[in-house]
A and B are shown apart, each in its own frame.
Chain A
Amino acid sequence: MALFRSHVLAAAVGQVVAILTVVGFSPLLKGVIENLKAKVQSRQGPSVLQPYYDLRKLLGKERTVTGNVSFLFRVAPYVVFATPVAFAMLIPVLTAMPLSWALMADMVGSGFVIGIGGFFGNLAAMDSGSPYGGLGSSRSRFVSSLAEPTFIVVFFAVGFISGGTVPFAVNGALFTSSSHIVPSHALVAAAFLMVVLAEAGRLPLDNPNSSQELSMIESSRLFEFSGPDQALMEWGGFMKLFVLLIVWLNVLVLPLGLADAITVPALLVAILTLSAKMLGAAVLLVGIESTLAKIRILRVPEYLGGSFVLAFLGLVLYTVGR
């Protein structure tokens, strides 16, 4: 605390560092995943920095917007970019204790925040009038609305076990109690990972590398965007995966290595452990995406129903074991 005299200032700095971490490192996660995936397939693969190059290229381009779109289309990229940033304030990215704005919303509220981005993305895609945009939006709604129950049950289960739904309070409470919550915990964590994959448009629901328009979900919503708009939309997508994985890692799976105070060394250590955990998550994602095939759209309810059943089971088992 020697560095920052006032608590308020310290908290503000912590918040800013957390946001910068999310904004700055999320393209790196994407790059690492692509690179690892290529390595698994015995290819050289793009550089891990490739997403940064892409973003720079897009940001430098001229913006082109179709004539017959409403303001939604112009606003959407900013909303899609801003919502994960706002979300990052609500969750323990680097610090174990809540920062000044963290108590604005609990897990349900943060879910709404992240949902706004998806909502605007869908509206904009439909607004453009492109058939693929409409297709992507409707499929994306389909997936999200089915993922919703699982999210809610996960929040309930976590809230039930830890006695609160603010991510910072939950964080850790799962790990201090006795061994009988472990089975519930494992089930809930697995269910949450399943819906994270669905929400972030990863395999087995959506292939982010697909080039076939008919099988796309997320990527088909981006067709009509160009230049800086496209950059913001894609960056927003990277951040969404990044923050959802942070929730999974820092709240549900491994809340270790978070900073206890806002000091430079503590924050550095926290960033390093977060990188290590993210690398682990990237390996896990690559493992999942290299072994599982994309499931047919009609089987999406089975997949998300499965995640719901797992989460619900986690909730019920906790009450049985008590």
Chain B
Amino acid sequence: MLPEVILAALILLVTFTFIVTRQLGAAVSTYAVQSWLLGGVSIALFADSHLIQLLLFGLLTIAVKGIAVPQILRRRSSFALAGRRETVYFVRFPTALLIGAGLTLIGFIVATRIPYPHQLLPESVLGIALAVLLLGLFTTTARRDAILQVGGLLAAENGLLLVGLVLAPGLSLLIEFAIVLDVLIAVLVMGFLVARMHQEVSTTDTSELTRLRG
């Protein structure tokens, strides 16, 4: 059980990069690392439980989210990554940091309150998973840049899959396949819109897109 928990703890650490980074490229590589770690958790769980779908899910995660999705994102946003531009928050940096810490805490507290049937992973991983979900959603709402917003959503989705591994490791592979496929399509559509954004306003800073009001 310990390897899974350590990998999960590393996922939490890596997710903080989304909160602190100022570089667009970091979002993509952080997501890749996070996905590899998630795949690692699943494969380690397979070693413990011998549920074959966990092995396949781990490999699928690494192949699609650790390799394919970052590739697509990099290609779609190469123009934005090329400048190594620094991005900004809608909130100030220390505030963002404190909110991130608060959300992590909330994730852990909530995890202790959910009376879920204990399966393969301990409660602390559920806390990590919920924290990653919240941190991802926070990144999406608090970051101005479209690429980081996408990164936040994808990170949140990884957190959810970790929740899935805690709550329902027996969920069938077909379902997990559907969810991963969903991510792939999401990235394609979002990548398309990010490219459109660059074409339209020559930046991926969404604060340029505030004409619709009321």
Consider the complex of A and B and state whether they touch directly, i.e. have CB atoms less than 8 Å apart.
Answer: yes
Taken residue by residue from 1 to 36, chain B's Cβ proximity to chain A (1 for < 8 Å, 0 otherwise) reads as 110011011101100100010000000000000000
What are the residues of chain B within 8 A of A190 when measuring CB–CB? 13
Decide if A67 is an interface residue (CB 8 Å cutoff). Answer: no
Decide if B46 is an interface residue (CB 8 Å cutoff). Answer: no
Provide the main secondary structure of the chain A interface.
Answer: helix
Decide if A312 is an interface residue (CB 8 Å cutoff). Answer: yes
Shortest CB-to-CB span from B178 to chain A, Å, is 30
Decide if B93 is an interface residue (CB 8 Å cutoff). Answer: yes
**A186 touching B2 in the complex, CB below 8 Å, given contacts A179-B122, A313-B105, A320-B127:** no
Decide if A173 is an interface residue (CB 8 Å cutoff). Answer: no
> Quick one: closest B residue to A191, CB to CB?
B13
Please state if B6 and A305 are interface contacts (CB–CB under 8 Å): no
CA distance A179 to B124 in the complex (A): 7
What are the residues of chain B within 8 A of A305 when measuring CB–CB? 94, 97
What are the residues of chain A within 8 A of B93 when measuring CB–CB? 302
What are the residues of chain A within 8 A of B109 when measuring CB–CB? 320
Chain A, interface size category, equals: 20 to 34
Decide if A316 is an interface residue (CB 8 Å cutoff). Answer: yes
Q: Contact check: which of B1, B12, B20, B94 meets A179 at CB < 8 Å?
A: B1
Please state if B6 and A182 are interface contacts (CB–CB under 8 Å): yes
> In chain B between 164 and 203, which residues have their CB closer than 8 angstroms to a CB of chain A?
none
CA distance A179 to B93 in the complex (A): 32
CA distance A317 to B6 in the complex (A): 15
> Quick one: closest A residue to B94, CB to CB?
A305
What are the residues of chain B within 8 A of A286 when measuring CB–CB? none
Please state if A182 and B105 are interface contacts (CB–CB under 8 Å): no
Please state if B9 and A321 are interface contacts (CB–CB under 8 Å): no
What are the residues of chain A within 8 A of B20 when measuring CB–CB? 302, 306
> Quick one: closest B residue to A303, CB to CB?
B20
Decide if A183 is an interface residue (CB 8 Å cutoff). Answer: yes
Shortest CB-to-CB span from B82 to chain A, Å, is 16
CA distance A310 to B16 in the complex (A): 9
Q: Contact check: which of B98, B100, B124 meets A321 at CB < 8 Å?
A: B124
Decide if A309 is an interface residue (CB 8 Å cutoff). Answer: yes
> In chain B between 46 and 101, which residues have their CB closer than 8 angstroms to a CB of chain A?
93-94, 97-98, 100-101
What are the residues of chain A within 8 A of B205 when measuring CB–CB? none
> Quick one: closest A residue to B104, CB to CB?
A313
CA distance A185 to B9 in the complex (A): 9
Please state if B9 and A182 are interface contacts (CB–CB under 8 Å): yes
> Quick one: closest A residue to B112, CB to CB?
A320
What are the residues of chain B within 8 A of A316 when measuring CB–CB? 105
CA distance A305 to B98 in the complex (A): 10
Please state if A321 and B123 are interface contacts (CB–CB under 8 Å): yes
> Quick one: closest B residue to A295, CB to CB?
B22
Residue picked from A180, A183, A312, most chain B C-beta under 10 Å? A183
Taken residue by residue from 183 to 199, chain A's Cβ proximity to chain B (1 for < 8 Å, 0 otherwise) reads as 10111001000000000
Shortest CB-to-CB span from A203 to chain B, Å, is 15
Decide if B43 is an interface residue (CB 8 Å cutoff). Answer: no
Interface of A with B (CB < 8 Å)? 178-180, 182-183, 185-187, 190, 302, 305-306, 309-310, 312-313, 316-317, 320-321
New A-B pairs, 6, CB < 8 Å, besides A186-B6, A302-B94, A313-B101: A179-B2, A183-B9, A186-B10, A187-B13, A312-B101, A320-B127
A-B contact pairs, 26 of them (CB 8 A): A178-B122, A180-B124, A182-B124, A183-B124, A183-B127, A185-B9, A186-B6, A186-B13, A187-B9, A187-B13, A302-B20, A302-B97, A305-B94, A309-B97, A309-B98, A309-B101, A310-B101, A313-B101, A313-B104, A316-B105, A317-B104, A317-B105, A320-B109, A320-B112, A321-B123, A321-B127
